[in-house]
Amino acid sequence: MDPAFLNQLQRIVGAGGVLHDPLDVLTYECDGLPHLRMSPAAVVLPASAAEVHDVVRLCARARVPFVPRGHGTGLSGGALPVAGGVLIALSRLNRVLEVDIPNQRVTVEPGVTNLEITRQVAPFGYYYAPDPSSQQVCSIGGNVAENSGGAHCLKYGFTTHHVIGVDAVMPDGELVRIDGALTDAPGPDLLGLIVGSEGTLAIVTSITVRILRRPETVQTLLAAFDTIDAGGAAVSEIIGAGIIPAAVEMMDALAIRAAEAAVHPGFPETDTVLIVELDGPAAEVEALFEIVKDICRRCKATSIEVAADEAQRMRIWRGRKAAFAAMGRVSPNYYVQDGVVPRTKLPEVLNRIRDLERRSGLPIGNVFHAGDGNLHPLICYDERIPGQSDKAVEVAAEILSYCIDAGGSLTGEHGIGADKNTYMPQMFSAADLALMQRVRNALDPLGLCNPGKIFPTPRLCGEVPGPYRAHPVEKAGLAERM
Amino acid sequence: MDWGRAPQRVDAILSTRRLNRLLAHAHGDLTATIEAGATLAEVNATLARRGQCLPLDPPFADRATIGGILATNDSGPLRHRFGTPRDLVIGVQLATTDGTLAKAGGQVVKNVAGYDLSKLVCGSFGSLAAIVSATFKLTPLPRASKTIVVEAPDVETLGQIVRDVMSSQLEPIAFDIHVSDVARLLLRFASLPNVVDAQIEQTLALAALKGLGAPKRQGRDGGCATAVTEDDAERAVWEERSRRMWDSPGAIVRASWMPADLPAALKGATRVTELAGRAAVGAGLIRIDGDVRTQAAAVEQLRHSTSFRHVVIVRGSDELKSIVDVWGPLGDRERLFASLKHALDPNGILNAGRGPL
Amino acid sequence: MTDGRAPRSADLSAVAQSAKADDAKGRAFDANHPPDPALIDKCVHCGFCLPSCPTYALWGEEMDSPRGRIYLMKGGLDGRAPMSAAFVRHFDACLGCMACVTACPSGVQYSPLIEATRGQIERRYDRSLADRVFRRAIFAIFPYPARMRLALAPLVALQAAGLPFDKLRASRARRGMQGPRDDRRAALSCLRSPAKRASYGEARRSAGGAEAAGPPSADRSAKEPVKKYDVERRTRRTRRKTLGISLCGFRGFCVVRDFFTRSKAVALRPKAIGLRPPGFFRHVRAMMRLAPRVTWKSLTARVPERTPAVGVKRMTVGVLTGCVQRLVFPNVNTATINVLSAEGCDVVAPRDQGCCGALSLHAGRLEDARCFARSTIATFDRAGVDRVAVNAAGCGSSMKEYGQLLADDPQWAERARAFSARVRDVTELVIELGEPRATRHPLHLRVAYQDACHLAHAQGIRQPPRDLLRSIPGIELLNLPEADMCCGSAGIYNLVEPDTAEQLGDRKARLIDSTKPDIVSTANPGCTLQLRAAASRLARHWPIRHPIELLDASLRGVEISDI
C-alpha cells in the first residue's frame, strides 16, 4: 500500500487507528464465514463518525476500495476485505448516543452490539425486538447492513421495521442524514434501500431504532416430534389457525445433539423439536397457548414441555441460539446455508434435504425459523478428507435450488455477500439484476464501497464459490494466498 | 392526482385500472400478489373469504389502488400495529423507463436477497418506475374487535393519556388521536373476545382515565367521556373519523412529531384547525382552515417549529402550492434522490415535475 | 500485502530461498508442544467470545481478541505468522481470564492453547533485558514465601514509618479524600506484634476448640488497637518530627512518588497495546501502586498445622495457605480454617507446603510449574486429606489442572489426576458440606461480589460463593454490570502489563461503584489488590473481603464496623 496514503489515514485516525502490519491484518482476513479469506492492505479503526467520513472521502479521492466491518460475525462474507483495499472496522464506534424512553427511541453508533440496546432499556421495561442468534456480539451496524432477523421476527419484523433513521457516509464521502427520530420523511424510502444493502451503498455512523415495551406475558413450549413432517404440519396448523406466535423454531436431531453438548438445554432426544413462544396480554397468551398445545398433540407430539419459569425459558433459548456455533462440537467443519421457502412448502423441502443427505453422505443438521420458512441447513464435512469441502458446496447449492424451486429465496437473514452472489441469477433475471445495478451505480458510481458482494462477479479463472480451498495456482506452488 | 406539485407536462396518463387482479393468494403462507390497479376494498373483500386481510386502511379504500397506496406509502389507523405499506410489501414488479419488466424481493415473508427496491418505490410517487404488481404479507382477521373512544378535557390530559398507554402493557391495533375543538383518543383492540374485554378494562383502569366518568357502552361520543363500540358502530366510528377531515374545508398536510411531546407541540402550532393521527408513531394529518395566505403562513409556521417535521401538503389549492413548496426541504437526501432519478429515469418522463424527485 | 512472498516461482532455488527467509524471520512455533491444531480447529470463527474479552472491550481490535489470537496461533502453525515482537505482544496482552471459554459455544479449550503458546514464547523469544530481569525477579520471588517475606520487609518498614502509601496509590485521584486509617492501624499493630501474635494463637485455639458458639476472641483483641489509636498516632508523629523526616524526607518522597506515579493525560481514543512492552520503571511504578498493606504480624503470621473439627467430624481438609495470601491476607487463611472447623472438618495446613505453581503455569513456565505441582501433591498426599481447600482462585484453577499438566509424566500422571479430583475452592467446599452447622449471625451489608476469573471462568464456580454469601442473613447481594469481565489483575498481569491492567481496573471500579456497595467481596488475593488500587484511584474506599472472611465474621457474630 502506498505509504503516502497510509500516512494520510494515520493523520485522520492517529497511528493507533491504522493497522497495516501483515500480522495484524491477517486476523481481519475473514468474518464469521472463515472459508472466504482475503487480507486487506490496511485496517482502519475510526473512533468517530467524523473519522469515518474523512476516511471514506480519502478513499474515494484515491480510488481505493473499502469494506465496512462491525464485529465480523456475518455468515455470508459480507465483510470480506478487498485485495489492496481498506477495511473500515467500526468496533470502536460503540457509544450509545441517546436513550429516549418516552418516545421509545434509542440512538446508537454502529459498533454497539444488538443486545446492548436491550440492556440499556431493560431497566425501563423495554427491549429491542430483532434478535439474531449472535445478538450478544453482532453489531447494530452489521444488522442494518444485512437487515438481520432472528427468532422473534415472525411477529415483530426485521431490522428494517425497527430502524427509523440513520446517519450514513455515502461512498463519495458525504455524510447524509436519512430520516431520523421523526418518521414520514417525504420521498422514496431510502432507508428501506440502505437497510439490507450489505454495506454496498453506504456506511452508517449512527442508527436510531424503535424499542418495544416488554410484553405482559411470555410463554414458551418445547414439543418433540418423531418426524420432521409432523413438526412441519404443526407449524402450518398454528399459522393456519390465525395465530402469529412471537417465535416458532425447529431443530432436528443433529442440531439437538450439538446444542445439548454445548449448553445442556435439556432437549429431549428425538427427531425434531419445535419451540413455540407466544407473548402479549396474559389472557390472549393463555388462550392461544392452549390452542397451540392442542395442535401439537393433534400432530402427534411425543412430549410437550412448557417452560415453567424464566430460567427454563432462557435455557431453551440458549440451546436454540448456541446451535450454530455448537456444530463445532459434532463436526470438524460445517457450512451454514440460509434459504427460505414458503411455510407451506416446509415439509416437502425438508424431505428433499433428507434425501440429499442420504445421497451425499454428508450429515445435514437443520436449525430454522419455521414460522417464516427460513431454513438453516448445517452441512457437516471434514476439510481434511479430500473432496469433502467441494461436496459441501455442491450440497449447499442444491439445497438453495430446492428453495428457489419452491418459490423461496437464497437468503432470509445472512445476506448474499461474497458467498452466494454467483447464485443470484437463479433467483433474479438479468433485467432484475440490471435494475439493482443501476441503483447501485447511482449511489456508488466508482464501485468502491464493498465491491464484489451481492452481484455476481466474474471470479478468478477456475475459482468456484464456497469454502476456502487452494486455487489450482496455489496448489501448483505458483502463488500464495496472503 | 391532488398530491404533489402541478405536473410540468403531461403527454400521456398511464392508468393501471385494468391491472386489477389478485394474482395469487397463498393463504397458508399469509401472502398475496396483487396487480397495481386493484383497489384496496376489492382486494380485502376477496382476502376476507379466507379470513385474512391486507392490514392497510388509508382513507378512501374503495378508490385507493394498491399501486397508489404503495407509491404514496399511505396508511391509516392500523399503522400503529402493522406499519405502512413499506412494512408489508415483500416483493414488487416494476416497469422501468428502458422498457423492461424487473422484479425485486420475492414471494416469501423473509428475504434479504438483493436490494429491497419494493421499499424504494414506496413514497416515490411513481417517479422512479411504474409499479405493475406487488406481493404483501397478510394478517388473519381478528375474531373480535372493540374500540374505546375517550374524550379528554384538554390537550394536556390527552398527552398524559397517550404517555400512559404507551408505557402500559396494552396492545391496541390502532391508537389514534383526534384534536379539533375536542381532544379525542381512539383505541382499538382486536383479538379473542375475552382478551379484548380484558384490555378494555385495563384501559379504563389507567390512572389518567380515572375521574373521566364511567363508560357508556354502544354510545356515539354523545356527551360522555368514554364510549366503547363494536361491530357496525365501531366501523362507523372509524369511517367517520377517517372521512371527517377530508370532508371539511381547508388545506391538509402530512406531518410527524415526537409522540410524547404532542401537547407542547400543539401549543406552538396556533394556526392548526384539526390534527388526526397515530398517537404512538407521531404522524398524521393536519387541517388548516382559512384563506390561502393563512394556510401558507400555517404551513411555514409548522415547518419552522421544532416540534413538527416533514410537513407535506397533501391537499391544497393551486394557489397555495404556488406560494409554498409542496414537499418542503428534503435535506441531505435531495442529492441522493437526484442521482437515483437520473439513473432510473434519465429523461425525466415519469411524473415530471410533481416531485418529490 | 507485499512482503515479497506473494508470487513464488516454482523453481526449487526460489522455494529454498523463501524457506530460508521463513527461518530467518523465525517460525512462530517449533515441534516442542506447539498449540494443538485439533483444539484450534474447534474454533468456527463465530465471534461469540469477542464481547467477553477485556482487551477487545478496551481496544476493539481483532488481534487482541480470543478469536484473533487463535487465528494468530493458526497463522503461527501455517507459517503465516512469524514469532515477531507484534506476535508476542498480542499474547502478552491476553489476561488469561478465560472469559472466552465461558462464552464459547463450540467448546474451544483456550487455556491449553494459550499456555502452549506462552510456553513457546518463553522458550523461543528474546525479550528485552529489562523485561527479562523483571519477569525473572517475579518468578524468583513470588512463588517462595520466604523470599517474598524478605522482599516485603522494606515495605513494612516504610509503612511503619508512616509513609502515606495510600496517597501514593491514589496519586491519580484527588488527594486527601481518604483517611489512611487502615494503614495506620496496620502499622500500629506491627509495633505490638508479639502480643498480637499471641492473641492470634489464642483465637485460633479457641476457635478450634470444643465450642464455636460464642464469638471467638480474635476480634475482641482486634478491637483494642482502635482505642489506642489516637495516642499512638500522636507519639509517632512526634517521633517522625524528631527524626527529621517531616520536611526534607517528605519533600523528597514526593519527588520520588511523582516520578513513579505521574499520571498521564486521559486518552480519548482507545489506546491499544503498544508494540514495546512497558519499561522497567513503569513496572516498578505498577508495583508501588499495587503494594499491599503488610505488617510484621501478617508477614510472620502462621496458622496452626492442625485444627480439630467442631462437633462430629465430616472430613479432613487440607488448606493451601498460598504465597501471597499467607503474607498479605493472613486473615483469609484464618477465616478459612475457622469456618471449615466450625462446619465439622479436621483442618490440616501443612507447614512444608510451597507454591502451587499457578504463576508459572499461567505464564507458560511449564517446567517450573510441574516441579511445584509435584511437591504440592506430595505434601498433601503425606497429610492424608479427603479434600484440599483453596482460597485463592488462581491457585485452585492450576491445582485442578495438575492432571493435564503432568499427563506426560508416567510416574505422576495418575497421582496428579487423583489429586486434582480432590481440590475444591473453599466456597465450593462449604456448599458441598451441605446443611450449615454453625449459626450465621446477621450482617446487614450491601455486598458487591466480583467473580474472580480463575474461579468463574477457569473453574466454572459462580454459584457457590453467591450461595455462601446469601446464606448469611442480612446480606444484600448486588448485581454487577459486566460481572463476567476481568478486573485486570490476572495473576502477574497487572505487574507486567500495568497500563492495560489499570484501564481495566478503573473500568471495573467505576462499575462496582455504580452499585453503591458497603463492601466488595472477591475470592482471589490478586483481585483484591487490584480492586483496592483501582478504588483508591477513584477515591473510593469500600473494604474488600474474601467471601469466607464474611462468613467467618457472621459465624463469630462481629460488628459490621469490625469486618
pLDDT, tens digit, for every residue of A294-312? 999 999 999 999 999 988 9
Residue of B115, B168, B333 lying closest to A176 (CB–CB): B333
* Distance to chain C for A20, nearest Cα, Å: 8
C13, C40, C62, C102: which to substitute to probe chain A, counting the most A Cβ within 10 Å?
Answer: C62
pLDDT, tens digit, for every residue of C143-157? 888 888 888 888 888
Angle at B86 between CA B80 and CA B92, to 5 degrees: 145
Distances (CA, A) of B73 to A276, B86, C145, C302: 33, 7, 76, 80
What is the rounded CA–CA span in Å between residue A138 and residue A20? 24
Please provide the DSSP assignment of A421-445 as one string: GGGHHHHS-HHHHHHHHHHHHHH-T
Query: Which pLDDT score, from 0 to 100, does residue A349 have?
Result: 93
Which grid coordinates are listed for C172? 491519580
Helices (H) and strands (E) in chain B, counts: 12, 16
Chain C residues near residue A47 by CB distance under 8 angstroms: 268-270
What is the rounded CA–CA span in Å between residue C96 and residue C100? 9
List of chain B residues with pLDDT < 50: 214-224
Chain A residues near residue B58 by CB distance under 8 angstroms: none
User: Domains along chain B?
Assistant: 22-140 (3.30.465.10), 144-243 (3.30.70.2190), 248-323 (3.30.70)
Q: Which A residues, 121 through 180, put their C-beta within 8 Å of a C-beta on chain C? A: 134, 136-138
Q: Which residues on neighbouring strands pair with residue B228, listed in sequence order?
A: B148, B217
Between helices A346-360 and A228-240, what is the axis angle to 10°? 160
* Distance to chain C for A69, nearest Cα, Å: 11
**Nearest residue in chain C measured CA to CA from A114:** C51
Phi-psi region of B250 (alpha: psi -120 to 50; beta: other; left: phi over 0): left
Which grid coordinates are listed for A111? 459498533
Residue of A113, A136, A480 lying closest to C8 (CB–CB): A480
Between helices A253-263 and A310-326, what is the axis angle to 10°? 110
Chain A residues near residue C59 by CB distance under 8 angstroms: 92
* Distance to chain A for C138, nearest Cα, Å: 30
Residue of B104, B340, B342 lying closest to A436 (CB–CB): B104
Q: Measured between CB atoms, does A478 come within 8 Å of chain C?
A: yes
* Statement: residue A314 has pLDDT above 70: yes
Burial category of C107 from C-beta neighbours within 10 Å (exposed 0-12, middle 13-18, buried 19 and up): middle
**Nearest residue in chain A measured CA to CA from C10:** A478
E strand or H helix that includes residue A106: strand A105-108
Chain C residues near residue A1 by CB distance under 8 angstroms: 1
Q: Measured between CB atoms, does A113 come within 8 Å of chain C?
A: yes
* Distance to chain A for C42, nearest Cα, Å: 6
Is the Cβ pair A185, B331 closer than 8 Å? yes
Tell me the three state secondary structure of residue B46. helix
pLDDT: which is higher, C224 or A204: A204
Give all chains having 3 or more CB-to-CB distances under 8 Å with chain B.
A
Query: Which pLDDT score, from 0 to 100, does residue A13 have?
Result: 94
**What amino acid occupies position C471?**
S
pTM: 0.85
Query: Which pLDDT score, from 0 to 100, does residue C295 have?
Result: 80
What ipTM describes this predicted complex? 0.93
Is the Cβ pair A263, C82 closer than 8 Å? no
Domain A217-405 in this protein, CATH class: alpha beta
Chain A residues near residue C268 by CB distance under 8 angstroms: 47
* Distance to chain C for A329, nearest Cα, Å: 6
* Distance to chain A for B212, nearest Cα, Å: 24
Chain C residues near residue A69 by CB distance under 8 angstroms: none
Between helices C547-556 and C217-243, what is the axis angle to 10°? 120
Q: Which residues on neighbouring strands pair with residue B58, listed in sequence order?
A: none
Q: Measured between CB atoms, does B106 come within 8 Å of chain A?
A: yes
What is the spatial order of strands in the sheet that A163-169 belongs to? A96-100, A105-108, A203-210, A163-169, A175-179
**Nearest residue in chain C measured CA to CA from A19:** C61
Which grid coordinates are listed for A322? 448456541
* Distance to chain C for A339, nearest Cα, Å: 20
The two beta strands, B144-152 and B183-191, are antiparallel
Q: Which residues on neighbouring strands pair with residue C346, listed in sequence order?
A: C316
Which residue, among B140, B146, B120, has the nearest Cα to B131 in the 3D structure?
B120
Pick the range with the lowest mean pLDDT from A154-158, A222-226, B139-143, C147-151.
Answer: C147-151
Q: Do chains A and B touch (3 or more CB pairs under 8 A)?
A: yes
CB pairs under 8 A between A and B: 262
Is the Cβ pair A23, C51 closer than 8 Å? no
What is the rounded CA–CA span in Å between residue A294 and residue A291? 5
What is the rounded CA–CA span in Å between residue B192 and residue A286? 11
Please provide the DSSP assignment of A77-99 as one string: -TT---TT-EEEE-TT---EEEE
Chain A residues near residue B261 by CB distance under 8 angstroms: 103
E strand or H helix that includes residue B199: helix B193-204
Cell 416533514 appears where?
B310
Query: Which pLDDT score, from 0 to 100, does residue A328 have?
Result: 78
pLDDT, tens digit, for every residue of A67-116? 999 999 999 999 999 999 999 999 999 999 999 999 999 999 999 999 99
What is the rounded CA–CA span in Å between residue B203 and residue B218? 17
What is the average per-residue pLDDT within A453-460? 75
List of chain C residues with pLDDT < 70: 1-26, 162-275
Chain C residues near residue A334 by CB distance under 8 angstroms: 44
Is the Cβ pair A416, B357 closer than 8 Å? no
Domain A96-213 has CATH 3.40.50.1580: no
Query: Which pLDDT score, from 0 to 100, does residue C264 have?
Result: 34
E strand residue ranges, C455-506: 475-478
Query: Which pLDDT score, from 0 to 100, does residue C12 have?
Result: 37
Is the Cβ pair A30, C45 closer than 8 Å? yes
A126, A409, A428: which to substitute to probe chain B, counting the most B Cβ within 10 Å?
Answer: A409
Is the Cβ pair A410, B113 closer than 8 Å? yes
A432, A437, A450, A454: which to substitute to probe chain B, counting the most B Cβ within 10 Å?
Answer: A432
What is the rounded CA–CA span in Å between residue C173 and residue B250? 66
A2, A29, A37, A91: which to substitute to probe chain C, counting the most C Cβ within 10 Å?
Answer: A91
Chain B residues near residue A178 by CB distance under 8 angstroms: 332-333
Phi-psi region of C215 (alpha: psi -120 to 50; beta: other; left: phi over 0): beta
**Nearest residue in chain A measured CA to CA from B306:** A182
What is the rounded CA–CA span in Å between residue B311 and residue B301? 10
How many Å separate Cα A394 from the centre of its chain?
Answer: 22
**Nearest residue in chain A measured CA to CA from C81:** A23
**Nearest residue in chain A measured CA to CA from B190:** A284
* Distance to chain A for C384, nearest Cα, Å: 36
CATH 3.30.43.10 in chain A: give the residue spans: 3-89
**Nearest residue in chain B measured CA to CA from A167:** B332
Chain C residues near residue A378 by CB distance under 8 angstroms: none
- The 3 state secondary structure assigned to C343-369 is CCEEEECCCCCCCCCHHHHHCCCHHHH
What is the rounded CA–CA span in Å between residue B293 and residue B291? 6
Chain B residues near residue A443 by CB distance under 8 angstroms: 336, 339-340
Which residue, among C244, C270, C231, has the nearest Cα to A92 in the 3D structure?
C270
Is the Cβ pair C5, A32 closer than 8 Å? no
Q: Please state the φ and ψ torsions of residue A187, each to the nearest 5 degrees.
A: 105, 175
Chain A residues near residue C51 by CB distance under 8 angstroms: 71, 113, 136-137
Q: What is the rounded average pLDDT for all residues in chain A?
A: 91
Tell me the three state secondary structure of residue B117. helix
Q: Measured between CB atoms, does B338 come within 8 Å of chain A?
A: no
Query: Which pLDDT score, from 0 to 100, does residue C227 have?
Result: 31
Peptide bond into C525 cis (omega under 30): no
What's the sign of the alpha-carbon dihedral A25, A28, A34, A35? negative
Query: Which pLDDT score, from 0 to 100, does residue B230 have?
Result: 86
CATH topology of domain A3-89: 3.30.43
